């Protein structure tokens, strides 16, 4: 965001505060800067959700704020220092790789508060907003096992990634909870893999008989969703040895014309389960018609907006600063499964009721969800 846009945004919010009865002498003392990672503010995932939560908080509390985008780690250090020197008292940075930069700059500016989203910085003036992704993944695995037509499911996950490990562990545990006889294929993708590589890994899992594949590859999650729309279905004649079709639970769901043309005979549809954002739901709709079968079964959504809103509200209200990790999961609206018109025909009311029962078991402590 350029300087003119920043000034305009801050000025408009201060004007709003004045019109609601605040004089300039009573202007808010909390000045906020949100620094995005290289994906930018319109990533349709964590960054965009963080913006939503922040804007909701500043509207409610009349706080000035500004934003910036860091192109890499070195630029993040620079952006954090600029924000601190410019008078920001609360600085929020997104990205799993931001912990080191946040910790370093927090040490330089002990009177400024620093917040990491999806990471845990060090220092008494820092907080890390992190998520119990494994809880949402458990529900997704339970759901997938209940509707799988082959009892083979897959996970494509980034290698050496702590968040991906939580998604993988929760998903596998959820599958086993619903279907002890089901198999889960796991493919770890090198961190620097491009969209084509990730998509090909997902297609290989479909070729091995997986009819539902979980995407846990960060920025490349869309690649798994688009792989599902490209493959569309499994064919009985090409199923690998030992894999057979079971009941077709989606036989009555209308298909698009391309699907009908490509998937003749005894076939079953394939699906992806996205992570981090519900914006990937539409990417699984190959014909842009919500009435026909969508190849995104659901998404595991991290409610970064709720986490950021909660933290900013606490600061605005002058509540005590609690350093360290702040966890968000099923209990405090930090994770959820995406539901909407795109998957109404895929997740029946009866199945949703079963998922809700399992959710209560997790919340009550009866079911322990593993993190790796």
In three-state form (DSSP H/G/I as H, E/B as E, the rest C), the secondary structure along 11-49 is: HHHHHHHHHCCCCHHHCCCCCEEEEECCCCCCCCCHHHH
Residue 223: enclosing H or E segment and its boundaries?
helix 221-231
pLDDT in tens, 99-152: 999 999 999 999 999 999 999 999 999 999 999 999 999 999 999 999 999 999
End-to-end CA distance of the chain: 39
Does position 8 have pLDDT exceeding 90, yes or no? no
DSSP 294: P
pLDDT in tens, 37-74: 998 998 888 999 999 999 999 999 999 999 999 999 99
Tokens of 312: 């900013």
Band (4; pLDDT cuts 50, 70, 90)? very low
- Separation between Cα atoms, residue 118 and residue 196, nearest integer Å: 26
CATH 3.30.1450.10 fits 3-131+304-328, yes or no: no
- Separation between Cα atoms, residue 215 and residue 290, nearest integer Å: 22
Domain coordinates of the chain in residue numbers?
3-131+304-328, 133-302+339-363
Cα-to-chain-centroid distance, residue 178:
23
Position 291 scores a pLDDT of 85
Identify the weakest region by mean pLDDT among 14-28, 145-159, 336-350.
14-28
Residue 343 CB contacts under 8 Å (≥ 6 apart), including other chains: 281, 294, 296, 297, 298
Position 28 scores a pLDDT of 47
Position 287 scores a pLDDT of 75
Band (96; pLDDT cuts 50, 70, 90)? confident
How many DSSP H helices and E strands does the chain contain?
A: 11, 14
Plot region of 232 (φ>0 → left; ψ -120 to 50 → alpha; else → beta): left
Task: Give the dihedral of Cα atoms 303, 304, 308, 309; nearest 10 deg.
Answer: -30
Using CA atoms, how far residue 138 sits from 101, 109, 207, in Å, is 32, 40, 24
Phi and psi at residue 225, to the nearest 5°: -65, -45
Does position 24 have pLDDT exceeding 60, yes or no? no
Pick one of 3.40.640.10, 2.60.110.10, 3.10.450.50, 3.40.50.2300 as the CATH number of 133-302+339-363: 3.40.50.2300
In three-state form (DSSP H/G/I as H, E/B as E, the rest C), the secondary structure along 245-275 is: CCCCCCCCCCCCHHHHHHCCCCEEECEEEEE
Phi and psi at residue 68, to the nearest 5°: -155, 160
Task: Give the dihedral of Cα atoms 169, 173, 175, 180; nearest 10 deg.
Answer: 140
Mean pLDDT calculated for residue range 319-332 = 96
- Fold agreement between 3-131+304-328 and 133-302+339-363: yes
Using CA atoms, how far residue 311 sits from 46, 78, 265, 372, in Å, is 16, 24, 54, 27
Cα-to-chain-centroid distance, residue 241:
35
Position 44 scores a pLDDT of 81
Work out the angle between the directed axes of helices 349-363 and 133-147 (0-180°, nearest 10): 140
Does position 12 have pLDDT exceeding 70, yes or no? no
DSSP 320: P
Using CA atoms, how far residue 53 sits from 47, 178, 231, in Å, is 10, 34, 36
C-alpha torsion sign, points 277, 38, 72, 107: negative
Tokens of 370: 């593993």
Position 213 scores a pLDDT of 98
C-alpha torsion sign, points 105, 74, 99, 58: positive
Band (9; pLDDT cuts 50, 70, 90)? very low
Tokens of 132: 């119990």
CB 212 within 8 A of CB 148: yes
Residue 300: enclosing H or E segment and its boundaries?
strand 296-302
């Amino acid at each position: 965001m350029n300087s003119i846009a920043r000034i305009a945004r801050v000025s408009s919010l201060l004007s709003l505060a004045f019109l609601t009865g605040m004089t300039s002498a009573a202007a808010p003392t909390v000045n906020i800067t949100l620094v995005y990672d290289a994906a930018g503010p319109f990533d349709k995932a964590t960054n965009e959700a963080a913006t939503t939560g922040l804007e909701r908080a500043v509207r409610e509390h009349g706080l000035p704020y500004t934003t910036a985008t860091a192109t890499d780690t070195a630029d993040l250090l620079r952006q954090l220092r600029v924000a601190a020197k410019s008078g920001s008292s609360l600085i929020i940075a997104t990205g799993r790789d931001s912990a080191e930069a946040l910790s370093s700059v927090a040490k330089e500016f002990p009177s400024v508060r620093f917040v990491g989203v999806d990471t845990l910085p060090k220092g008494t003036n820092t907080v890390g907003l992190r998520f119990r992704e494994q809880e949402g993944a458990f529900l997704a695995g339970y759901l997938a096992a209940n509707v799988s037509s082959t009892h083979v499911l897959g996970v494509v996950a980034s290698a050496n990634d702590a968040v991906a490990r939580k998604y993988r562990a929760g998903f596998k545990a959820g599958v086993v909870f619903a279907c002890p006889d089901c198999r889960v294929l796991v493919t770890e993708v090198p961190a620097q893999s491009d969209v084509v590589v990730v998509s090909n890994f997902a297609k290989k899992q479909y070729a091995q008989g997986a009819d539902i594949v979980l995407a846990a590859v960060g920025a490349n999650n869309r690649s798994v969703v688009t792989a599902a729309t490209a493959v569309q279905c499994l064919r009985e004649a090409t199923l690998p040895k030992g894999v057979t079709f079971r009941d077709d639970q989606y036989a009555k769901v209308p298909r698009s014309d391309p699907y009908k043309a490509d998937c003749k005979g005894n076939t079953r549809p394939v699906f992806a389960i996205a992570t981090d954002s519900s914006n990937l739901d539409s990417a699984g709709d190959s014909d842009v018609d919500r009435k026909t079968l969508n190849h995104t079964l659901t998404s595991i959504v991290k409610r970064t907006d709720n986490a950021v809103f909660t933290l900013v509200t606490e600061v605005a209200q002058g509540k005590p600063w609690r350093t360290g990790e702040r966890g968000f999961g099923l209990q405090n609206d930090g994770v959820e499964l995406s539901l909407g018109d795109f998957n109404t025909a895929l997740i029946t009311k009866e199945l949703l009721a079963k998922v809700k029962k399992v959710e209560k078991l997790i919340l009550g402590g009866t079911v322990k969800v593993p993190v790796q």
